Amino acid sequence: MTELREPQAPALRRVIAGASIGNAVEWFDFAIYGFLATYIAANFFPAGNDTAALLNTFAIFAAAFFTRPLGGFVFGPLGDRIGRHKVLALVILLMSAATLAIGLLPTYTSIGIAAPLLLLLMRCLQGFSAGGEYGGGAVYLAEYADDAHRGRTITFMVWSGVVGFLLGSVTVTLLQALLPAAAMDSYGWRIPFLIAGPLGLVGLYIRLRLDDTPEFKELSETDNVAKSPLRESVTTSWRRILQVIGLFIVFNVGYYVVFTYLPTYFIKTLKFSKTDAFISITVACVVAIILILPLAALSDRIGRRPLLIAGSVGFVVFAYPLFLLLNSGSLPAAIAAHIGLAVIECCYISAAVSAGVELFATRVRYSGFAVGYNLCVAVFGGTTPYVVTWLTTSTENAISPAYYVIAAAVISLLTVLTLRESAGRPLPR
């Protein structure tokens, strides 16, 4: 069994690539929607009120997250019954197909109210498939990793998500630079969505060549697979599911503020150019890509709790002054503030996924984590751009998003204090 728990480096690299590529595609898909929000608003809603159209666009962005728990309820138990890698192949196929369809949808001027309704349908399908993606990939990596380096291995899921965001940002910005404004408004915004098709096929090919995890194979061989993993996870691990929800509140609020909302905030609220917003999000993503894996490796050495506490306390203490710095009127200061928020988020997310997955026994690990994670994402993830946009416009206070981040950090900090340290220990059986 030791040989299975400590795979050779080439095998582990294939496992990491297979799990991570789907997540990178997922967050590429979700990122381009955020980066193209103003174009989507103009094409899928009637002209006349730009703020209302943008709010409606973010509302549809948020709606996808309400179908994520449904996906978690379906794909989590399925992964605990038939295996991890089969479900991961299915969800990347659904995600890519839905994103490709968005790039082909007719606009409001062509089919009227049917346009935003079809957009909503495709976004909900994206959310449904995403309900099985993140948790499944994290569980897959956790069950292949050795105990000493499990945090770093699992956190490739987080790292690949930021890579997906960066690719989305670069793709959109290159198109904006290369295409005339009229062309971008007309058809250029569709191109990033169309790219999802071949990306998804590459991810599907890689995942179909993977085998299942050693721990799930052991369950199958001993006929110990849960017959009703969803019911078992809810009845035996409900406290752990609640801990995952609390743990991921600031994970999601911080993530969507830093990597999805702030590019729009730079343009709409701070009145910087799209180029300025691109520079800021690119630098923030690069900083995150550099920091996340070393911080995850640090969590393997000193534990998950110290990094989770540092990240949540960092938001409580620094979110308000960093938003003041964002609004100073200076572009270098605003970019520095964006980087500061990204660093705090990296500190937290480098340990959060590992801590969440490590709470559950093998029989219900996919179900338990997927249900808790996706319930949290539904309430505190995709809603974040809408909530902070609404807070900013309704209060006429550009600093108000900081209060939302601070409140989320306090709740997550209280949750972290209830967790036992899990770094370096065998996964629960």
- In CATH, what number is assigned to the domain containing residue 27? 1.20.1250.20
Let me know if residue 2 belongs to a domain: no
Let me know if residue 290 belongs to a domain: yes
Mean pLDDT across the stretch 160-172?
Answer: 88
> Mean pLDDT in the chain?
88
How far apart, in whole angstroms, are the C-alpha atoms of residue 390 and residue 264? Answer: 13
Question: How far is residue 390 from each of residues 43, 67, 286, 413, measured CA to CA in Å?
Answer: 21, 22, 29, 25
Let me know if residue 218 belongs to a domain: yes
- Does the pLDDT value for residue 340 go beyond 90? yes
pLDDT band at 9 (very low <50, low <70, confident <90, very high): low
HSE-CB at 403 with a 13 A cutoff on CA atoms is 10
pLDDT, one tens digit per residue, over 13-56 is 888 988 888 888 888 887 788 778 788 888 888 877 777 777 78
Let me know if residue 109 belongs to a domain: yes
pLDDT, one tens digit per residue, over 264-312 is 899 889 999 988 988 998 999 999 999 999 999 999 999 999 999 999 9
- Does the pLDDT value for residue 249 go beyond 90? yes
Let me know if residue 45 belongs to a domain: yes
Let me know if residue 306 belongs to a domain: yes
3-state secondary structure of 75: helix
Of 134, 142, 131, which Cα lies nearest the Cα of 304? 142
User: In the chain, how many domains are there?
Assistant: 1
Let me know if residue 95 belongs to a domain: yes
b/e code 147-171 from CB counts within 10 Å (16+ = b) = beebbbbbbbbbbbbbbbbbbbbeb
Question: How far is residue 5 from each of residues 176, 241, 285, measured CA to CA in Å?
Answer: 47, 26, 32
* H helical segments located in 257-399: 262-268, 274-302, 304-326, 331-357, 365-380, 383-395
Most confident region among 1-15, 19-33, 86-100, 214-228 by mean pLDDT: 86-100
How far apart, in whole angstroms, are the C-alpha atoms of residue 355 and residue 308? Answer: 9
Segments forming the whole domain that contains residue 195: 12-418
What pLDDT score was predicted for residue 1? 40
Let me know if residue 425 belongs to a domain: no
For residue 9, the one-letter residue type is A
* H helical segments located in 149-190: 150-154, 156-178, 181-186
- Kindly report which listed range (154-158, 223-227, 292-296, 372-376) carries the lowest average pLDDT score: 223-227
